[in-house]
Structure 1
């Protein structure tokens, strides 16, 4: 089977299940509620409109819009990472890889097809995340007299980099799924690292000297560097953790994670016999 035929098969396989739209719906609701809540608090604080404020806000207005819009990737990246992981581990769990490999004996073609489909679903999730983030955040910014910066080229460039980040996160997820066959174990690893290990390390880097020089190479930090803004970098600007990669450096690091995990997954677990 050719790569194009395998890609069509993988596309059908993904979109005939509820997995992709359920995660997409959760992404929409979760990111939308977070952006609305933080958008209200940050915009109202910057405008000095909260009860008990005197004189003005304590949140800098410069770059506030980009920090809010970057929530799409800062907290939303776990969703493309999960869908990529599930695209592979679901095959091991439901034992559908056997007929897949019988139809396409060249396993590298199958993995490549999954990667192409993964890039597509990553772009789709990025669009959903941007709609969920920009809508409420820009609404509250404008409502409190702050600049929503939707006419700035830099804002739209950041949106483009968020799309790239989501696509790379799906590839990382596919690599994790190929490397860790057990679906429960893979999901636990993904959630533990993204929701506990790295966030705690990045918060600590804002207060522990020189720790930021290590943390900047973690995948979440690299993703934020690629996007160009995040609540973590805004927080570290006032602490000791100020080291961060350039946007292109973040992209290179994130791409390197994807390539290494995909190659390791292919050379180890993906080439082994399946039941």
Structure 2
């Protein structure tokens, strides 16, 4: 009697439907420690339900204790990066962070106009936490003339809003006035961040029609490396998903509050946020809409 061999054919897996999530481009510097810059941007984007892309303006040598060195990329190379992205996977939103020279700022502005970029979020990284100026006057001037007018929203903190308006900001009323002046001058929404206050983390969003205060409880966490990068990338992600400006900013603020409250503790200095806190949670921010 011949033995028979039974062959079981594995059931074919159903073909997955093609996916085309919303895409967001981050234009910023690289942080090898992963807490800020492009690395923080991409973490924020994937945990907020969008496909992240990047164009690097500078390579930094830094960690949680400080910045050791910066190597700026050539303007022509930045232009090539941007052209490669826009000509292949058109971004639904663009986040702009660290810009170290007027030449790089000009390349970015020209590219935004060339491709008619939408949902542009500009984080004007001008002043360090220590108070030191990070951007030369000529770069600030190009930002004023070319980049801010191309933005849908800018996200200055109090020191940066002071540089852009010339107003000394001492109270919530000053924050609101600075946001209003910038919005009127440049025709974009303005989120003036009040996180420099000791007692609270209230921000003011100025859009056409007036101000919206976004109240926040200060979270007692010394690890705040990359908060500005994270917030602006979350806003860009939300705009790409189709949220209106107020909702996009409100949800981004909730996301960053959660990332801070997760109390990640890494490094010897001011450490990074927990960008992935929501993965094991409700998944609220990862929804693709």
- Measured against the shorter chain, the TM-score band is under 0.3
Question: Which of structures 1 and 2 has the bigger CA Rg?
Answer: 2
Q: What TM-score comes out, normalization by structure 1 length?
A: 0.26
Higher relative contact order (CA 8 A, sep 6+): 1
More strand by share: 2
More helix by share: 1
